[in-house]
């Protein structure tokens, strides 16, 4: 097995700063970036298009698997505790019930995404745009699968969505056709563009700092 490589963010950190402080500050910075990226919306219903996928990809590639997963978990915990860190908060109220909404599956999907892309970075794939792009695409497919499954079969329908689907409010799932048409298809091209950008930025950053590390 290839040994674990040092991820970009830890590599840039001054050696005199303690590891514990480094972790705390990077997690806080990561959750702040995820919050800001969640608020930038170009599409609203039923699943908004935001810059959050780009942010998760960049954080995961720059942090490595352990720190990236910890950051995503901290972000989700912030939302579960009621902090308005998610896309639709406000007007919606954050808290555990938010995860039952249409975006719940996608939010949970950020955890395996962080692990997959972070693991690729741990193996040194963050130095190659092609390898990193492949890892990010694989991770995005996992997010789509989890988000699609929850939207299609799990999420309780709000009165507005139930009326649109001709179903009873409170029943579960929009059905696979609606979930694909509204929860996956509009995102594919945008996600590929965001992945391409993230996969280019991280290796480019390594190239910039390489002379400093030699």
Tell me if 208 is assigned to some domain: yes
Domain span at 206: 8-213
Tokens of 167: 């179903």
pLDDT in tens, 92-145: 899 999 999 888 999 999 999 999 999 999 999 999 999 999 999 999 999 999
pLDDT in tens, 130-188: 999 999 999 999 999 999 999 999 999 888 888 888 888 778 888 999 999 988 998 89
CA atoms of 24 and 44, how far apart (whole Å): 33
Tell me if 84 is assigned to some domain: yes
pLDDT in tens, 50-73: 889 999 999 999 999 999 999 999
Q: Please calculate the CA angle 20-213-204 and round it to the nearest 5 degrees.
A: 95
pLDDT at 2: 47
Spell out the residues 6+ positions from residue 173 whose beta carbon is closer than 8 angstroms to its own: 151, 152, 153, 154, 155, 157, 179
Tell me if 162 is assigned to some domain: yes
pTM: 0.90
What is the number of domains present in the chain? 1
Residue with more model confidence, 9 or 28: 28
Tokens of 132: 């990193």
Contact (Cβ atoms closer than 8 angstroms) between residue 43 and residue 186: yes
- Domain CATH number, residue 50: 1.10.1760.20
Contact (Cβ atoms closer than 8 angstroms) between residue 71 and residue 87: no
Tell me if 145 is assigned to some domain: yes
Tell me if 57 is assigned to some domain: yes
CA atoms of 173 and 15, how far apart (whole Å): 50
CA 67 to chain centre: 14
Tell me if 2 is assigned to some domain: no
């Amino acid at each position: 097995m290839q040994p674990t490589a040092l991820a970009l963010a830890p590599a840039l950190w001054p050696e005199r700063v303690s590891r514990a402080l480094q972790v705390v500050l990077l997690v806080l910075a990561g959750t702040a970036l995820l919050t800001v990226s969640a608020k930038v919306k170009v599409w609203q219903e039923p699943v908004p298009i935001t810059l959050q996928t780009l942010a998760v990809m960049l954080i995961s590639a720059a942090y490595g698997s352990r720190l990236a997963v910890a950051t995503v978990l901290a972000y989700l915990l912030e939302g579960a505790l009621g902090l308005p860190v998610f896309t639709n908060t406000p007007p919606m109220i954050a808290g555990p019930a938010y995860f039952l909404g249409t975006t719940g599956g996608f939010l949970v999907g950020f955890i395996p995404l962080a692990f997959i892309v972070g693991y690729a970075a741990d193996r040194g794939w963050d130095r190659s745009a092609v390898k990193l792009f492949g890892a990010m695409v694989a991770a995005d497919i996992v997010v789509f699968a989890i988000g699609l499954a929850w939207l299609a079969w799990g999420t309780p329908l709000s009165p507005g969505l139930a009326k649109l689907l001709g179903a009873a409010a409170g029943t579960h799932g929009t059905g696979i056709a609606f979930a694909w048409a509204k929860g996956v298809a509009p995102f594919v091209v945008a996600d590929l563009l965001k992945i391409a950008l993230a996969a280019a930025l991280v290796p480019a950053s390594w190239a910039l700092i390489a002379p400093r590390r030699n």
